[in-house]
Amino acid sequence: MDKVAYIIVEPVPIVRWALSRIVEEQPNSTVDKEFDSMHRLVDHLQKHSTDVTIVGQSILLGLSAEHLKLIKSKSKLIVALAENEAQTPNPLFFETIHQHDSLQNIQKAIRKATCEMAKHKDNKPNGSALSDREIDILKDIALGLSAKEIAAKNFISPHTVITHRKNITKKLGIKTTSGLTIYAVLNKHIRIEEVE
């Protein structure tokens, strides 16, 4: 499974560094990007999305509704780093951590966010076995047929062939045709003589 990707936005370098360090140390979690200001984050989110965004406290204080909406739409979870417990937790935040929290609590919060994301990821057709239909398509790909030929042979549209291929790649973690061929042979879907 792909790691859960985090974005951190926090102006104070040492806090940003510490957060990034903590995230990287948790299983299945990785920091994708770090930003020191909201406008840098906005620039990035115009084009990209992420799993979890951690929003630092001073950013949090000046956060406009519009920006919050953007973060919400481009990241699946938000973790807030609040100044103290008195700050009312926003229901839009999956977790709110505090500067004075113990390290263990912060680590726990990150792990919880990662687990939550991992659940979402597992729901997708990812890591599960290939369907019979997909195995048929895989064989054809391995034999070197083009998308057009596979479509005609199986009475489906080339577009559907491409969708199948995408799903196969996602499930197996193999992108190239020669890689898929090896997989098909090693799993006895086709014989090596057919491709050599």
Partner 1 sequence: MHIAKDTKMGDVVHHNHSVLTVMLRFNIKLGFGDKTVDEVCSEYNINTSFFLEIINAFLDPNYFPSKHLRTFSVNLIIDYLLKTHYFYLTHKIPAIECMIEQLIKENQGESDLRLIRKFFKEYKDEFINHLKREDEAVFPYALRVETAAINGLNDTTLVKQMTKYSMNDYLNEHDNIEEKLFDLKNILIKYIPPISNQALCIHIIEELFSLEKDLHDHSRIEEKVLGPKVMEMEKQLLAHT
Point out which residues bind partner 1 (CB under 8 A): 172-176, 178-179, 181-183, 185-187, 192, 195-196
Closest CA to 37 of 65, 10, 74: 10
Rounded CA gap, 24 and 28, in Å?
A: 8
Residue 196 Cβ vs partner 1, minimum distance, rounded to whole Å: 8
Residue 172 Cβ vs partner 1, minimum distance, rounded to whole Å: 8
Residue placing its CB nearer to partner 1 in the complex, 82 or 130: 130
Residue 86 Cβ vs partner 1, minimum distance, rounded to whole Å: 34
Residue 192 Cβ vs partner 1, minimum distance, rounded to whole Å: 5
Sheet holding 95-98, edge to edge: 29-35, 4-9, 50-55, 75-82, 95-98
> CB–CB of 127/97 below 8 Å?
no
Rounded CA gap, 156 and 38, in Å?
A: 47
Residue 186 Cβ vs partner 1, minimum distance, rounded to whole Å: 5
Residue placing its CB nearer to partner 1 in the complex, 11 or 179: 179
Residue placing its CB nearer to partner 1 in the complex, 90 or 187: 187
Residue placing its CB nearer to partner 1 in the complex, 78 or 180: 180
Number of Cβ within a 10 Å radius of residue 108: 15
Region of 63 please: left (phi>0), alpha (psi -120 to 50) or beta. Answer: beta
Residue placing its CB nearer to partner 1 in the complex, 12 or 192: 192
How buried is 61 (Cβ within 10 angstroms: 0-12 exposed, 13-18 middle, 19+ buried)? exposed
Residue 185 Cβ vs partner 1, minimum distance, rounded to whole Å: 5
CA angle in degrees (0–180, nearest 5) for 73-78-81 = 140
Residue placing its CB nearer to partner 1 in the complex, 47 or 100: 47
